Amino acid sequence: MAGRWPPEAVAALEPYLGTEHVVEVWVGDPATSRDGTSPDGHVYVADDARVTAIHDRSGRPDVHPWPLLAGPVLRMTARIRGRGREVVHEHPSWTPPER
């Protein structure tokens, strides 16, 4: 992950590793992407040392973890209980679509 993510995106993600917060990550080309690809979930460092996310911690057998996508990272948000969703990183040359 860190090879294609800028250091500031890596630093923005670190406080959420292993927490109960859900992180949303949009990746794509900042020059051409509108929304990018956006997986979300609880992030942690897997046994193989890869940063990984899992959408749900219910223990259901059909829930599978996935390694986070390579960057560039367009935007990262964290859904923090009691505070809602906060933008924790945004690529400086990406313009998000107006909503």
Count other Cβ atoms within 10 Å, centred on residue 31.
Answer: 9
In the chain, % of residues over pLDDT 70: 96
Q: Which of 18, 16, 22, 58 is nearest to 39 (CA)?
A: 22
What is the model's pLDDT at position 14? 94
Distance from C-alpha of 71 to C-alpha of 99, rounded to nearest angstrom: 23
Q: Name the pairing type of β-strands 22-27 and 73-80.
A: antiparallel
Q: Is the pLDDT of residue 1 over 70?
A: no
Of the pLDDT bands very low, low, confident and very high (cuts 50, 70, 90), residue 67 is confident
Higher-confidence residue of 91 and 99: namely 91
Of the pLDDT bands very low, low, confident and very high (cuts 50, 70, 90), residue 58 is confident
CB of 17 closer than 8 Å to CB of 68? no
